[in-house]
């Protein structure tokens, strides 16, 4: 593109809070035919809230004390939601527990010892790795996931005792962004560490037909590379630390402005308003810039 076209393009973007870090980013934006979007924090607000707590063989108050002790040690957004819920529902008489031997299991959950008991908080894979059977909680978990809730499981001393369901509202313009991308003949893919049923439900609400779920943080970039190997020109949109390798792998990395510093530093484009609608806007500005150069 000519220097003038690039100045016009980056100026247009800047006015909307769409920051292109360099001229190449603007030119690449014009050639994108596939947009991969992280779910949590990108398509959704990334502020999950506990909606249901289903217990089996443990009291609510004791469950919340054990789980909160583990999740206080974690920085995961789901952990923050659990801790907040536990504070709001704390029994007046129960003292807080502290966790020892905390271990974060990326993409799966967390474990620790609390009040002499071994507590696991996370997804099915986390429990399966320790041979914990879900038992009667399995059907409740499936129902909640099918409804689009992120279902977190809790095991104490090798026994499944609870399902904690969380909802993370879609960003207001997420569905409109998907529609605009489809109109521009761009394929949209959801990429998430969350489970298949939950991801499918949210994708369906937003009009996204391709879902890649239950992806470990370390594997996100491999999925981008696979699409590129199929000849796609891929933009990745993400907010999290775990999205950074995928943002780097993509032809165009797009970071949500409200996201983590690592994502913002790694990306080629930053959406300052954290608005999913600015994804189609960024591609349109790129296409306009390229047209001016011909």
Judged by the rule CB under 6 A, the positions of this chain that interact with ligand ADP are 39-40, 71, 74, 76, 78-79, 107-110, 121-123, 150, 152, 192-194, 217, 240
**Nearest in space to 69 (alpha carbons), one of 46, 40, 53, 90:** 90
State the binding partner of 281 from ligand ADP, Mg ion, none, CB within 5 to 8 A by kind. Answer: none
**Smallest separation (angstroms) from Mg ion to the CB of 247:** 11
**Smallest separation (angstroms) from ligand ADP to the CB of 162:** 12
State the binding partner of 239 from Mg ion, ligand ADP, none, CB within 5 to 8 A by kind. Answer: Mg ion
Tell me whether residue 112 or residue 174 sits nearer to Mg ion (CB atom): 174
Quote the CA–CA distance of 118 and 99 in Å, as a whole number.
Answer: 10
DSSP character string of 93-153? TPPPP-EEEEEEETTTEEEEEETTEEEEEE-HHHHHHTT---TTHHHHHHHHHHTTPEEEE
Tokens of 139: 């059907």
Tell me whether residue 194 or residue 251 sits nearer to ligand ADP (CB atom): 194
| 192 belongs to the binding site for Mg ion (CB under 5 A) | no
**Residue 274, number of CB atoms within 10 A of its CB:** 19
State the binding partner of 259 from Mg ion, ligand ADP, none, CB within 5 to 8 A by kind. Answer: none
Residue nearest to Mg ion (CB): 41
Quote the CA–CA distance of 160 and 51 in Å, as a whole number.
Answer: 19
Residues classed as catalytic: 38
**Smallest separation (angstroms) from ligand ADP to the CB of 166:** 9
17-45 in b/e form (b: 16+ CB < 10 A) is ebbbeebebbbbbbebbbbbbbbbbbbbb
30-69 footprint of Mg ion as x/- string (CB under 5 A): --------x-xx----------------------------
Residues 120 and 126 sit within 8 Å (Cβ to Cβ)? yes
In the complex, the residues that contact Mg ion under the rule CB under 5 A are: 38, 40-41, 239-240
């Amino acid at each position: 593109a000519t220097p003038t076209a690039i100045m016009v393009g980056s100026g247009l973007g800047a006015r909307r809070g769409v920051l292109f870090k360099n001229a190449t980013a603007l030119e690449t934006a014009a050639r994108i035919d596939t947009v991969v979007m992280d779910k949590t924090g990108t398509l959704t607000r990334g502020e999950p809230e506990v909606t249901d707590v289903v217990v089996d063989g443990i009291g609510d108050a004791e469950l919340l004390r054990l789980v909160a002790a583990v999740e206080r040690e974690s920085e995961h957004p789901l952990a923050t939601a659990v801790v907040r819920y536990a504070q709001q529902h704390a029994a007046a008489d129960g003292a807080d527990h502290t966790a020892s031997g905390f271990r974060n299991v990326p993409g799966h959950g967390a474990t620790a010892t609390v009040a002499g008991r071994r507590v696991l908080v996370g997804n099915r894979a986390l429990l399966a790795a320790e041979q914990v059977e879900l038992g009667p909680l399995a059907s409740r978990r499936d129902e909640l996931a099918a409804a689009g809730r992120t279902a977190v499981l809790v095991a104490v001393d090798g026994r499944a005792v609870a399902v904690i369901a969380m909802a993370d509202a879609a960003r207001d313009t997420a569905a409109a962004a998907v529609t605009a991308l489809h109109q521009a003949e761009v394929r949209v893919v959801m990429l998430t560490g969350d489970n298949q049923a939950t991801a499918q439900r949210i994708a369906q609400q937003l009009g996204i037909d391709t879902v890649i779920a239950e992806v470990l943080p370390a594997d996100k970039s491999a999925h981008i590379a696979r699409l590129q190997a199929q000849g796609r020109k891929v933009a990745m949109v993400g907010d999290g630390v775990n999205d950074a390798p995928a943002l780097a792998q993509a032809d165009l990395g797009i970071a949500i402005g409200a996201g983590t510093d690592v994502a913002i530093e790694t990306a080629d484009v930053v959406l300052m308003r954290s608005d999913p609608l600015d994804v189609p806007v960024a591609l349109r500005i790129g296409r306009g810039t390229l047209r001016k150069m011909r």
